[in-house]
């Protein structure tokens, strides 16, 4: 569960281990303008939370407790992208089910005209350059907002709705 304190702009995450009847104590994620997607690497338990301003919070689970006690914030989406049009969608692929390598995290966003995807295979420490995934030659695609993304178990296989 993720949520944001509107007054201070601080995001929090909580985990339930009983189907949502109760929740563990809240963990502060950090200052995020508006929370977006939350996903968990099904192999190693790393928690990813995207912010609609292009930020990404990454929480590595504590080896004893099994959930993150802290989060690291980064800005993988170029700061030159107008935050009013980003609409970040994020998914973690279960593309390394044998373990040992983190799942690939994909961020999909809009600049108001085009849709881009960036990815990381090292827990969000670095990301590849943005790849445009819409067809700019199609006159029906002059404005692209609110993209959505899904990730498959096959490495590099994603679906994007523009």
pLDDT in tens, 72-131: 999 998 878 876 666 788 999 988 766 667 789 999 998 888 889 999 989 999 999 999
State the pTM of this model: 0.88
pLDDT averaged over every residue in the chain = 86
Reply yes or no on whether the pLDDT at 160 is more than 80: yes
Reply yes or no on whether the pLDDT at 23 is more than 90: yes
**Mean pLDDT, residues 39-46:** 90
* DSSP-assigned beta bridge partners for residue 158: 151
Per-residue H/E/C for 11-44: EEECCCCCCCCCCCCCEEEEECCCEEEEEECCCC
Reply yes or no on whether the pLDDT at 5 is more than 80: no
pLDDT of amino acid 3: 84
Q: How far is CA 124 from CA 50, 57, 76, 77, 138, in A?
A: 11, 9, 8, 11, 32
Reply yes or no on whether the pLDDT at 29 is more than 70: yes
pLDDT of amino acid 147: 86
Percent of the chain residues topping a pLDDT of 70: 92
Reply yes or no on whether the pLDDT at 162 is more than 80: no
Reply yes or no on whether the pLDDT at 152 is more than 90: no
């Amino acid at each position: 569960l993720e949520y944001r304190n509107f007054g201070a702009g601080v995001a929090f995450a909580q985990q339930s281990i009983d189907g949502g009847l109760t929740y563990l104590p809240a963990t502060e994620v950090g200052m995020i303008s508006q929370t977006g997607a939350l996903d968990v690497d099904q192999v190693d338990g790393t928690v990813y939370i995207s912010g609609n301003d292009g930020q990404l919070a990454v929480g590595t689970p504590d080896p004893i407790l099994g959930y993150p006690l802290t989060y690291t914030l980064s800005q993988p989406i170029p700061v030159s992208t107008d935050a009013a049009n980003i609409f970040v969608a994020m998914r973690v692929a279960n593309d390394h089910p044998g373990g040992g390598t983190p799942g690939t995290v994909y961020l999909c966003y809009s600049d108001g005209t085009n849709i881009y995807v960036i990815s990381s295979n090292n827990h969000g420490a670095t990301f590849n350059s943005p790849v445009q995934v819409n067809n700019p030659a199609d006159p029906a695609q002059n404005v692209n907002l609110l993209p959505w993304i899904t990730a498959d178990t096959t490495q590099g296989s994603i679906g994007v709705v523009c």
